[in-house]
Homo-oligomer: A and B are copies of this chain.
Amino acid sequence: MQRPLRPWLTPIIEPILCRNKLLTNALAALHHRRQNAQIPRLRLSLALSHTCKNILFIMFDQLRFDYLSCAGHPHLHTPNIDRLAQKGVRFSRCYVQSPICGASRMSFYTGRYASSHGAQWNGFPLKVGEMTIGDHLRKLGMQSWLVGKTHMKADIEGMERLGISRDSVIGARVSECGFDIFARDDGLWAQGPDGFYDERRSPYNEYLKSKGYPGENPWHDFANSGIDEDGDIASGWFMKHAHKSANIAEEDSETPWLTREVIRFIESQNGDEPWLCHASYIKPHWPYIVPAPYHDMYGANHVPAPTRSKAELRHPHPVYEQFANNLVGKAFHREEVRAAVIPVYMGLVKQCDDQMGVLFDYLERSGRMEDTMIVITSDHGDYLGDHWLGEKGMLHDASAKVPMIIYDPSPEADAARGTVCDELVESIDLAATFVDFAGGDVPDHIIEGRSLTPFLHGKQTPGWRDYAIAEYDYSATPMCANLGLRPRDARLFMVADKSWKFIHAEGAGPDGPFRPMLFDLENDPGELADLGASDRHTEIIDLMYERLGKWGRRLSQRTTRSEAQIIAGRSASRRKGIVLGAYDESEVDAELSVKYRGKAPLRPN
């Protein structure tokens, strides 16, 4: 697969390479490595295929920011993920743009806030026309592939309106938020009286069937169920079964299967073109159940005390109160639920970490560790009973903050390896980072995030953001109806800096517009005391509203003209005859009015 570069080609090819930041960076990296490692000069000419730099964009689903040993978990050891953090940078304040799978992912994939791309909940289609990392990277010569979950719903109506066929290459990409599909499996093969929640084909279910697992939905019957005392299915949907071993060979469960798919993808690449691979795992997302040996690796003594206080339920914010009293919230009020779920959640994370070990070993063996950026993150967290809540949705750290570890193989990143960055990072920054890594200029009239490269290279970042924004649209939930809100008003907005977290709730209750929520992150890092009704905090609340106002006025839809294009176009119209504000000819450079002078022509009779 490696083709030698003919020496006589060098003077022709080098100028081309030099215009391409991606290749130039790669050549610099090679040169650097050669000097350090005393690789003979000869080898450089063999290495053109190595100038490919790839991106392995790993996402777990519902992985809390603090369930990793590198993030300080006291019992859960994740040495493989920690190993990546040691080789890269771990961001300790990374917020997702919306703590719900679909909306969060569409923000990751577009680099845009949920209110900008509009796919604000699971199953709300990403509207045709929104640009994705796939669109940006393909322009730079990098392909963009999916292995796993996206939660993308295609905007079929929009595609039909624009005459875009799903069967065309373009239509397939539009339907899949910009990815080419190696394997798409959203990993939620729930099934009820009205049929499957997700009606696509499931490569994972097909895999299980090919291995001899019987039935229509082995995802449920084996990977996500155990067996009870009577030999009946003990479905993982019911949390009391969480501690049971899933009725499946560990290697056939979802996480190892996906790892093998990712490796199979990487092996399918011949090195001609750089790629981004979105390796997108469904776990540790519910159903909470895992096969042996992970099912009983952790026990009651490993379950941390919940981050919650009785005071939270006294005078609660009306929106918070709804969430604390919904089905999942109430379930997690019960200690038996936490005791059943959390050890298994830890087992699921442990399995993920072990699979990272498998994957990283492969990358090292294959040489890909040297030319591939690796990211580990998640689409949102999991309350697990903190704040009397389950699942995700509200905007406490347990839900809105995620792990974010980035390993950049470039020698420029050597300075920052193993560091922890405490700056405020948003999930939309990843799209900008990828474009930057692929050698492009970040189109900041489209992508709202900012490249994290300076942090990866240990550089100063003057003017970095002072606050992060997240949103949650709960119009599709019963909480919206319970509060008597119109769907358009069922929205929360978070503004967080390093000291304070502020949450504005749109809409109103019987007593008028909802008050905001406010947490003092310095003195109350557990976010236990909501100061939103406090008279002593009007100043910080005003500041947060000012920031939210500025964010609301952000430029998010002027995506067809870049700042540079606008500046360049400024004087064009004058040179095309738009001569404004002139009383007589003497006020205008004669050249500009060249078409407006001369003998008056004769009118026809």
A192 touches B599 (CB 8 A): no
Q: List 26 A-B contacts (CB under 8 A).
A: A116-B557, A118-B556, A128-B128, A135-B161, A155-B560, A157-B560, A162-B170, A188-B578, A191-B577, A191-B595, A192-B576, A192-B593, A193-B592, A193-B594, A194-B572, A194-B575, A197-B573, A214-B602, A249-B603, A327-B581, A328-B580, A391-B580, A477-B570, A487-B566, A545-B546, A549-B552
Q: Which residues between 500 and 523 of chain A lie within 8 Å of chain B, taking CB atoms?
A: 504, 506
B597 touches A566 (CB 8 A): no
Q: How far is the CA of A580 from the CA of B337 in the complex (A)?
A: 12
Select from chain B the residue with minimum beta-carbon distance to A209. B604
In the complex, which of the residues A190, A220, A563, A581 has the most CB atoms of chain B within 10 Å of its own CB atom?
A581
B545 touches A478 (CB 8 A): no
A118 touches B580 (CB 8 A): no
Q: How far is the CA of A240 from the CA of B557 in the complex (A)?
A: 41
Does any Cβ of B come within 8 Å of A257's Cβ?
Answer: no
Q: Which residues between 2 and 20 of chain A lie within 8 Å of chain B, taking CB atoms?
A: none
A570 touches B238 (CB 8 A): no
Give the interface segment out of A45-53, A68-76, A229-237, A397-405: A229-237
Select from chain B the residue with minimum beta-carbon distance to A561. B124
Give the interface segment out of A25-33, A351-359, A362-370, A583-591: A583-591
A193 touches B575 (CB 8 A): yes
Select from chain B the residue with minimum beta-carbon distance to A138. B161
A487 touches B557 (CB 8 A): no
Does any Cβ of B come within 8 Å of A119's Cβ?
Answer: yes
A566 touches B476 (CB 8 A): yes
Select from chain B the residue with minimum beta-carbon distance to A478. B570
B570 touches A476 (CB 8 A): yes
Q: How far is the CA of A561 from the CA of B119 in the complex (A)?
A: 9
B158 touches A560 (CB 8 A): yes
From B231, B239, B576, give the contact of A600 (CB < 8 A): B231
Select from chain B the residue with minimum beta-carbon distance to A334. B583
Select from chain B the residue with minimum beta-carbon distance to A476. B566
A119 touches B560 (CB 8 A): yes
Interface residues of A (CB under 8 A from B): 115-121, 123-131, 135, 155, 157-158, 161-164, 168, 170-171, 174, 188, 190-197, 211-215, 217, 220-222, 225, 227-228, 231-235, 237-240, 247-249, 286, 326-331, 334, 336-337, 340, 390-391, 445, 473, 475-478, 481, 486-488, 491, 493, 504, 506, 545-546, 548-549, 551-553, 555-561, 563, 566-567, 569-585, 588, 591-605
Select from chain B the residue with minimum beta-carbon distance to A131. B161
Given A548-B549, A560-B124, A582-B239, answer yes or no on A598-B233 (Cβ-Cβ < 8 Å).
Answer: yes
B231 touches A599 (CB 8 A): yes
Select from chain B the residue with minimum beta-carbon distance to A234. B600
Given A193-B591, A581-B330, answer yes or no on A125-B561 (Cβ-Cβ < 8 Å).
Answer: yes
What residues on B are CB-neighbors of A599 within 8 Å? Answer: 231-233
What residues on B are CB-neighbors of A475 within 8 Å? Answer: 563, 566
In the complex, which of the residues A115, A120, A328, A600 has the most CB atoms of chain B within 10 Å of its own CB atom?
A600
A128 touches B127 (CB 8 A): no
Report A479 CB to chain B, min CB distance, Å. 10
In the complex, besides A157-B560, A192-B594, A551-B552, 9 extra interface pairs with C-beta distance below 8 angstroms are: A115-B553, A115-B556, A192-B592, A194-B576, A211-B604, A231-B599, A247-B603, A331-B582, A552-B553
Given A214-B601, A331-B581, answer yes or no on A563-B233 (Cβ-Cβ < 8 Å).
Answer: no
B581 touches A326 (CB 8 A): yes
Q: How far is the CA of A127 from the CA of B559 in the complex (A)?
A: 7
Given A127-B559, A548-B553, A557-B127, answer yes or no on A582-B237 (Cβ-Cβ < 8 Å).
Answer: yes
